[in-house]
Homo-oligomer: A and B are copies of this chain.
Amino acid sequence: MPLTLQAPLDMHLHLRDGDMLNNIAQHSAKTFPGAIVMPNLVPPLSSKAEVIAYKSRIIEAMGQEQFTPYMTLFFKPSYDRAFLESIQDEVTAIKLYPAGITTNSEGGVSGFDIEELRPALEAMSDLEIPLCVHGETNGFVMDREAEFASIYESLASAFPKLTIIMEHITTESSVALLDMFPNLYATITVHHLLITLDDVAGGMLQPHLFCKPIAKRPQDRDALLCVALSAHPKVMFGSDSAPHPREAKEACGCAAGVFTAPIALQLLAEIFDTHGASHANLQAFVSGNAQKIYSIDVPQKKILL
């Protein structure tokens, strides 16, 4: 059955740079007229000039496709209020990575000393710049996200007016946080609605399904499905589509990331249909919730599936 969606948004997207950007950008734009673009290039985006230059490379790579890139900056505790004010017209959100936790995150935050983070996060809170967080510790791979819960709790309590997005959540424990703190929100990928660790390593090892955070247990996937299908107002779709060259995926030492951009919206529609969830909920999950959480204007574009 044909399905029309108003301005689907991908609230967590890796567009990379250079040849890779040019190869993959239009796959996103065909079904997502807008996306939050992650800043973990090499080196990561940390100045207004870098953001502006990257944005123009993205728009060029999109060719004739209508696409609004919502740009992000790579969080550093040294960002001060004057700097944050100066970048605000070009930056939609700022992304915090724990150091070394995923692709190109080496310059991220080590330790989470609230007082060290306070100047930057209070300024972001005042300026209403959302903080996107890759929430994993460097603990045992199946526990990393659950262990990060206490850091989310500290941040949410210490900065109660800061909008904090728990990116690509994968666990029941993260879902539970949504209803505990008014300022915690989350993105959910399409692959974490579909797969568990069984799909990655239960039969043959599947490098193309390897990502960070790693897919978890069936009950974790069920918890994600529950809030996505019901369009819980604090969750929104973010693909975390993250391409790598094939030789970096099918290798001795496979890079983390699943490239879903070309089929993400179709897969979502199928998941919602399979579970009997309404198109209104799908619309909210892929656009409406994000518009409210981020207070953004969106491109007026309909996508017919």
Contact = CB atoms under 8 A, between A and B. Distances in A.
Interface in A24-68: none
B197 A205 contact: no
A194 to B, nearest CB: 15
A253 interface: yes
Nearest to A141: B202
A140 B217 CA distance: 7
Given A205-B205, A205-B207, A210-B205, A140 B197 contact: yes
Contacts of A197: 140-142
A214 B198 CA distance: 11
Contacts of A254: 204-207
Interface string A191-220: 000001110111011111010001001100
Residues of A contacting B: mostly: loop
Contact of A210 (B201, B218, B249, B253): B201
Nearest to A202: B141
A250 interface: yes
Contact of A204 (B200, B206, B253): B253
Given A205-B207, A207-B205, A140 B196 contact: yes
A284 to B, nearest CB: 31
A256 interface: yes
A252 interface: yes
Interface in A99-148: 140-142
Given A140-B217, A250-B251, A200 B202 contact: no
A6 B250 CA distance: 42
Interface in A224-277: 249-256
Nearest to A143: B217
Contacts of A217: 140, 142
A134 to B, nearest CB: 15
A252 B207 contact: yes
A142 B140 contact: no
Contact of A205 (B198, B204, B256): B256
Closest A-B pairs by Cβ, 3 of them:
A205-B254, A204-B253, A141-B202
Interface of A: 140-142, 196-198, 200-202, 204-208, 210, 214, 217-218, 249-256
20 contacts: A140-B198, A140-B217, A141-B197, A141-B198, A141-B201, A141-B202, A142-B142, A142-B197, A201-B210, A204-B254, A204-B256, A205-B205, A205-B253, A205-B254, A205-B256, A206-B253, A207-B252, A208-B252, A249-B252, A250-B252
